[in-house]
Structures are given as C-alpha cells and as structure tokens.
Amino acid sequence: MSEPGGRSASGEDRYTVVSADCHAGADLLDYRPYLASRYHDEFDAWAATYVNPYEDLMADTADKNWNSERRLAELEEDGIVAEVVFPNTIPPFFPSGSLIAPAPTAEEYERRWAGLKAHNRWLADFCAAAPGRRAGVFQILLNDVEEAVKEIRRSVGAGLKGGLLLPGTPPGSGLPELYSSTYDPIWAVCEELDVPVNHHAGSASPPLGDEPAARAVFMVETTWFSHRALWHLVFGGAFRRHPGLKLVLTEQGSGWIPGVLDMLDYYHQRLVAAAARTSTAESKFGAGLAASMGRGPSEIWRENCFVGASFMRAHEVPLRDRIGVDKIMWGSDYPHDEGTYPYSREALRVAYAGVPRAEVAAMIGGNAARVYGFDLDFLDAIAAKAGPTVRELAEPLDETPPDATSPVFARGGSVRVW
C-alpha cells in the first residue's frame, strides 16, 4: 500500500491529506454571469426578493465558500493540501441549498436546471484558480436524462474531475427510483469518462417540516435515506451493466457499512434461492435477480464502491478492514460548523492514533487521490510544508479543544470499539 507524503525541511515525514468532503459555492449575485443571458431578467427579479434561510451564508465568514485565497490558506493551516468540492450555497432559482431542495416539478425544472448549470460553470473557474488542488463535483437533475448526460460531458470537459453529484429520489418526488434502467445513460457516461457517481447525505430525504421533532427526525433519518442509493444501484443491476462504474457515498458515516452489506448479502442469497423454488411465496421476489445483478452485494462493494468518511470517528476505525482500508476517504467537511476546521490535526489524532502508517496514509489522502485523479507527486511537495507529521498523528489526543464543534469531539464520539 502506498504512503503518500512529503518530508519537511526538518526531515520529518508528513502525510498528504486530501479532504474528500468540502463544500463551496458562489455568493448569490455572483452566479449571474454564469447563467444563460435569457435568464438574467428572471434572476434579477428572483434574487431581489430571495431571503437566504442559512445563517452561516449570511455571516462574515460566508466567503469561505468562494474566497479562493482564504480557503487555500485555511485548509493548509489545517494540514489539508487538496479537496473534493461539493456544493453549498444557493444556486439560482432554488428555494434552499441544492443538496436538500426537493426534486423540481415540471414547471420548476427549466429554471432550476439553468441554475445548476450556472453553478457548474462557476465551479470550473473556482477549481481552475487552484490547479491540481480541487476536484469539483458537478450537479445534474434527473428529470431529463438526455440533458443530464450532455451536462456530464460538458462538465468533465471543463475540467471538473470530482464526478457527478447524484440527486436522491425521495418518496413523493415523482421521479423513477434509482434502480430504474431509465438512468443507464448516466451510469454509462460516468463509466466511459471514468468519473465517480457521488451521493451525499441530505440529498434524498423527504420534506418533514420545521417542528423541533421534525428536525430531530431528519437528523436521525437523513443518512438512511442517502444509504438507499447503494442498494438501489446494486439490486438494479447498474454495476453488472457498467462494471467500471464507481459509487462514492459521502458524509453518511461509515460504521453502518459492514452490517448493511451483511443484510444485502442475506437478502440477495435468500431471494435468488427462492426464485428456484417456483411454488414458494417468495419466489416472485427473486425472479430474475441473479441475472440482473450478477455479483453479490459485498463483491460489488469491494470492486465498485467507496465511502467519503467525513470526520471519521474513532469508533468507526476498528471496522476499517471490514469496510476496506482502500475504500475509506477521510473528509473535513470544511467550511461547515460540524466540520473539523480548525482542528483537523486533532480530529485525525482522535481517529487514527495507533493505526499503521500505511493505512492512515491511504485513508486520509491516498485513496481520494486515486478515486478523484489527484497527482500525489504534486501534492506531496505541498504536504512537505503543510501536512501533519507522522509522529504527530501517532499521538492520542489527550485534551479536546474547548471550542471544537465537530461530532468527532462529541462525548462518546471518540470511544474505540475493538
């Protein structure tokens, strides 16, 4: 297993840290030049009355989302030399952040589609401002598959190498479920262009309202709704038809993966076996499943899937062999409050102190470089100055920073289960 990293001027070995989960976006009015000109008047009218629902996007620190120089400086200060960039701010014509906005109606589709394409164009410029250090994740909508495929090709051609952000199809969306072969052209072009399909937490939950209980239920359920993309694509046969397809599940935790794979293997084996016994009540559930899926769920995971293990916590780390050390990609979630900035070094110590060096190197940088196409030789030179030292991350963290807000540091969040 490779050990990406550089050697500092003092001779100490350093890790090359790539965050597989960061977020960015333009300030609202700065999207205007990236919109097709025919939408400018509509955008001006919409923006004039739009009220941003997110306090962090109205604060003095909001420019972390679009201030390239500030961002580079803060990430380097935090020990991070490259990032995978998911969306964060409000794209044109959206009621909220695109990750959690409901699927648009037919009437809303045209304007929101124009808004997402504007974001993708802005993101290409944002990534170009830091060559080799940002992999931008471009967005699509699922309402029109042919248009989505065109935008995938255009975005990759524009230099966005972070791959596709797959929207969810929550209950009530009116869209075909993700297991549908309707989406095969999307899987095919991502396989052809060798870019991953990313599915981020929050993008598949149904609307629940604003009551206190609803917000708590959202926190409990949002990752589960995001997990659904895994079994939809597995049972839908997407990986049999497109064996080179890569699926990345980001900011959904990682400790759930071994148990879910066991469950999926159980149902796969049970239903395939039942299909051979035509007289049983379950036989119809397994009919055609073996032919449509090909390999079993665990094998598909090993060959095709990865986890963006945002602010990975210590109790998840002992499961790394069952998840696959080569599948795990740590992320800081910058600039979110639940992210690890400015204590990413401390967060890495919480999770990885005592873990073999080669495994740490893979999980906090090497795997993301491989999946998203970063040049490690280039990044290692930056890490020689900015990266955390091997000796530093080997030391357990004795004292939590008092103003840290990431769940990594929450009570019980650093308990190891060996």
The answer to whether residue 417 sits within a structural domain is no
State how beta strands 82-87 and 13-15 pair: unpaired
Range of the domain at 67: 5-409
Mean model confidence pLDDT for the chain? 94
Question: Which amino acid appears at position 313 of this protein?
Answer: R
**25-35 pLDDT tens trace:** 999 999 999 99
* Least confident window among 287-291, 320-324, 364-368, 412-416: 412-416
pLDDT range class, residue 414, cuts 50, 70, 90: very low
The answer to whether residue 363 sits within a structural domain is yes
Helix residue spans in 194-307 (DSSP H): 212-235, 238-241, 257-275, 283-286, 289-293, 297-304
pLDDT range class, residue 116, cuts 50, 70, 90: very high
- Over range 60-88, report the average pLDDT: 97
Question: Which amino acid appears at position 240 of this protein?
Answer: R
**323-376 pLDDT tens trace:** 999 999 999 999 999 999 999 999 999 999 999 999 999 999 999 999 999 999
The answer to whether residue 75 sits within a structural domain is yes
Can you give the pLDDT at residue 9?
66
Residue 138 CA to residue 162 CA, distance in Å, equals 7
State how beta strands 138-139 and 164-165 pair: parallel
The answer to whether residue 123 sits within a structural domain is yes
Among candidates 210, 194, 231, 126, which has minimal Cα distance to 370?
194
- Over range 130-143, report the average pLDDT: 98
Q: What percent of the chain has pLDDT over 90?
A: 82
Residue pointed to by tokens 């993309």: 229
pLDDT at 126 over 80: yes
Can you give the pLDDT at residue 12?
81
CA dihedral for 215, 220, 222, 228, sign (positive or negative): negative
Can you give the pLDDT at residue 208?
87
Angle at which helix 297-304 crosses helix 257-275, to 10 degrees, equals: 130
Residue pointed to by tokens 């780390």: 317
Q: Which of left, alpha, beta for 5 (phi over 0: left; psi -120 to 50: alpha)?
A: left
Q: What percent of the chain has pLDDT over 70?
A: 97
- Total structural domains within the chain: 1
The answer to whether residue 418 sits within a structural domain is no
Can you give the pLDDT at residue 415?
35
Can you give the pLDDT at residue 172?
85
Rounded to a whole number of angstroms, the distance between the first and last alpha carbons of the chain is: 23
Q: Which long-range contacts (CB under 8 A, 24 or more apart) does 51-58 make?
A: 52/28, 52/90, 53/96, 54/90, 54/96, 54/97, 56/335, 56/336, 56/337, 57/88, 57/89, 57/90
- Over range 288-295, report the average pLDDT: 91
Residue 336 CA to residue 85 CA, distance in Å, equals 13
State how beta strands 18-24 and 13-15 pair: unpaired
Residue pointed to by tokens 């990236």: 34
Can you give the pLDDT at residue 411?
67
Q: What is the CATH number of the domain that holds 364?
A: 3.20.20.140
* Least confident window among 2-16, 17-31, 124-138, 222-236: 2-16
Residue 338 CA to residue 166 CA, distance in Å, equals 22
Beta bridge partners of 6: 14
